[in-house]
Structure 1
Amino acid sequence: RGCRFCHAGMVYRPVRERKPEVLMNLSRKLVDNTGYNEISLVSLSSADYSCLAPLVHKMIGEFKDERVSVSLPSLRIDSFCVAIAKEVQAVRKSGLTFAPEAGSQKMRDVINKGVTEEDLMNAVGAAFESGWNSVKLYFMIGLPYETDEDVLAIADLARKVQYKYFQITGKRGCKVTVSASSFVPKPYTAFQWFAQNDLEEIRRKQFLLKDEIKKYKNITLNYHDAKTGTIEAVFARGDRRVGKALLLAWQKGARFDGWSDCFSYERWLEAISDAGLDKDFYAARERGEQEAFPWEHISPGVSRRFLWNEWRKAYAQQLTHDCRRASCTGCGVCQALGVKIVDYKEAYQNNGEVQA
């Protein structure tokens, strides 16, 4: 949909759907050749897959007797479908996860999320009417142009979700889990020019949100370690020199750092320093419009001019529409790479069939 923080949403352009027949065949092979009891339908926006409803129905029918469930990742709040959510509960019950990404409308416009508070209330309202009493909400903090009011809006949105439950059921007790990750700017996105919030600022925002959420019952806050995000930012926008820091960290014992009990922030800082580098040069520095980036000798087809325009539109809180079924937005991918969008909406809506 063109979210401005999303690396994958730029480098994997354009949308190219797999045929339902291919997905069914792959699923059958996976079930027959592994011991797993769950199939997850994963994409950048799974609910936007044009054949999702018939595909889920076919998969549930195919694998229900084998006790293999079908799951969906976090869902866009403007494309949530209760019928599909109910169907995936047929084998194994699970909660619902939505990704508003930001608490305030201002910030959702900054990141070009293209959804509103009304969209969220409609989605959770439909879920509550169908029997759900808990939801998980994904957010990011540390985004460009964010203020304290925007951070506190996350807690306010969670409270409104609880109130929606009360309006529909007349009961209290809706459980809302808020997951807040710290934003890491990525190459080939509109935010590649952005200076990441430093460690102290991320921590301050985390505790600001934590103190606000403490005021409400049945709202739980989970947030990621800000130190991990700082190191991620160094390598996300690093040049070839950070390779030496990576080797030094390994030589100092860095292993399995995706696990918090194995991650040592001090070891990484020492490795970066020993390599003669400054972490803030990569993580906490805003780039100039004309600065050459170390990754630009490789191109995913998205033009730099398009990304710069998106960066300026973020400042102005202006939205860019989804080009999938509307006019071209000028990112340059289709023209530069000679590719086109692959979408089966019309083909499968016409005959309504998903073959095994």
Structure 2
Amino acid sequence: MPSTEIVHDRVMLEVFRGCIRGCRFCQAGYAYRPVRSKSPELLRRQGIEACMDSGYQEITLASLSTSDYRPLVELCDGLLEWCEPNRVSLSLPSLRADNFSMSLMERLQHVRKSGLTFAPEAGTQRLRDAINKNVTEEDLLRSCRNAFAGGWNSVKLYFMLGLPTETDEDVVGIAELARKVYLAWREASPNRSRGVRITVSTACFVPKPHTAFQWEPQVSGEEYLRRVRLLRESMRDKSITYNWHDAETSLLEAVFSRGDRRLADVIETAWRDGAKFDAWSEYFSLERWLRAFEACGLDPAFYAGRRREKDEVLPWSRLSTGVTPDYLWRELEQCHNTEITPDCRRGCSGCGADRLCPGGVCDA
């Protein structure tokens, strides 16, 4: 019998596939278009059957943006009727601050109370607009105030460093936003003696194929670490913890994210040199990979740190997700002009994915 808990050791109930939001960095948000959802009746039956068959005591309602599922309250009410007497917890993944429901979260915490997670992605409104995140500072602070007033004292905030058009002002803006969340706790918490835990985490931006940023370069490791230091020096509150993703693995992620067939030789060479389990820091060695690149006559900066032109034939150009390259390029131009694209429920933006629904419609 296995004695080790696996990752995502719970029932994962996918409520819908696709996303209405259009964040310009998100590969899944583009690749899984158009939006297709399940009925709450089907999801309730699947969730209960999965728990009874597996013995799991937790259900996660999974999707790219679960709070955008229209009948979410109906679904949660239906599941909680069974979950609460059977001591099965119901949880949501990272939430959007602009449609956060305090009453729903209070219902979900009856079995087990957890912290809250939000992903503003960027520290200033200018940069959030550039990446089309479409969440405002007031959205986040209002959601945090409501949560703190309701008894929560733990919140996690996720950001990226190195996004296209990012400046030092945007980096420092992350610290300023975290500070405002702390002040929101001081203002709203009914019991400040418990303290508050605010965790800020940053990852290095990795450009992905089939996104508006597929032509953009990744910042160098040195520049990423400079921005990490700038942010760390800007956060002084003891109640705020800062974690960051390391630069070396982010470099390899960017290389293999937009690599071509020549990287097959690099992978084999690194493997023959002892590379394995590189997701674990105790096994990872960037020097081993750099030796493999050199042996194959390739430069990792060619893949990770180079800006592509519109007319360049990309290794994935022969593949289609349904979203047209012209649409992605237009989104990139709008990023550099700090222009937003409204979500799909406010009107079709013409990405082209609706062609994948012959005889049907996008369920945005």
Scaled to the shorter chain, the TM-score interval is: over 0.9
Q: For residue 158 of structure 1, what is the aligned residue in structure 2?
A: 178
266 and 82 in structure 1: CA distance in 2 versus 1, 3 angstrom threshold: same
Counterpart mapping for 1:268-347 below 5 A: 268-323=289-344, 325-335=345-355, 338=358, 340-342=361-363
Task: Give the deviation of 1:48 after TM superposition.
Answer: 0.6
Amino-acid identity (%)? 50
Q: After superposition, what is the alpha-carbon deviation per residue over 1:115-157, rounded to whole angstroms, capped at 9, x for unaligned? A: 1111111111111121112211111111001111100100100
Read off the aligned partner of 1:40 and give its amino acid letter: T
Whole-Å separation in 2 of the counterparts to 1:50 and 1:262: 44
Give the TM-score normalised by structure 1: 0.92
Read off the aligned partner of 1:292 and give its amino acid letter: V
Q: Which runs of 4+ in 1 moved over 3 A?
A: 169-173, 336-339
Q: After superposition, what is the alpha-carbon deviation per residue over 1:134-191, rounded to whole angstroms, capped at 9, x for unaligned? A: 2111111110011111001001000001111122237473321101111100001110
Q: After superposition, what is the alpha-carbon deviation per residue over 1:250-298, rounded to whole angstroms, capped at 9, x for unaligned? A: 2222222222222222222222222221100000000112111110111
Whole-Å separation in 1 of the counterparts to 2:222 and 2:280: 22
Q: After superposition, what is the alpha-carbon deviation per residue over 1:60-98, rounded to whole angstroms, capped at 9, x for unaligned? A: 221223322111111111011111211221111110001
276 and 26 in structure 1: CA distance in 2 versus 1, 3 angstrom threshold: farther
The answer to whether structure 1 residue 193 and structure 2 residue 202 are counterparts is: no
261 and 334 in structure 1: CA distance in 2 versus 1, 3 angstrom threshold: same
Whole-Å separation in 1 of the counterparts to 2:35 and 2:215: 25
Whole-Å separation in 1 of the counterparts to 2:147 and 2:131: 26
Counterpart mapping for 1:8-87 below 5 A: 8-87=28-107
* SS of 1:139 mapped into structure 2: strand
Quick check: 1:301–1:337 contact (8 Å CA) kept in 2? no
Choose 132-141 or 164-173, whichever is displaced more.
Answer: 164-173
Counterpart mapping for 1:142-221 below 5 A: 142-169=162-189, 171=192, 173-213=195-235, 215-221=236-242
Q: For residue 222 of structure 1, what is the aligned residue in structure 2?
A: 243
* SS of 1:220 mapped into structure 2: strand
Quick check: 2:95–2:118 contact (8 Å CA) kept in 1? yes
Task: Give the deviation of 1:26 after TM superposition.
Answer: 2.0
Whole-Å separation in 1 of the counterparts to 2:131 and 2:317: 23
Q: How many residue pairs end up in the alignment?
A: 341
88 and 252 in structure 1: CA distance in 2 versus 1, 3 angstrom threshold: farther
Out of 119, 135, 147, the position equivalent to 1:115 is 135
Whole-Å separation in 2 of the counterparts to 1:93 and 1:272: 48
User: What runs of 5+ residues in structure 2 fail to find an aligned partner?
Assistant: 1-20
Q: For residue 254 of structure 2, what is the aligned residue in structure 1?
A: 233
Whole-Å separation in 2 of the counterparts to 1:268 and 1:56: 47
* SS of 2:67 mapped into structure 1: helix
The answer to whether structure 1 residue 100 and structure 2 residue 113 are counterparts is: no
Task: Give the deviation of 1:212 after TM superposition.
Answer: 1.3
Task: Give the deviation of 1:40 after TM superposition.
Answer: 1.0
Q: After superposition, what is the alpha-carbon deviation per residue over 1:176-209, rounded to whole angstroms, capped at 9, x for unaligned? A: 1101111100001110111100110111111111
53 and 336 in structure 1: CA distance in 2 versus 1, 3 angstrom threshold: closer
Task: Give the deviation of 1:336 after TM superposition.
Answer: 5.8
Task: Give the deviation of 1:337 after TM superposition.
Answer: 5.6
28 and 143 in structure 1: CA distance in 2 versus 1, 3 angstrom threshold: same
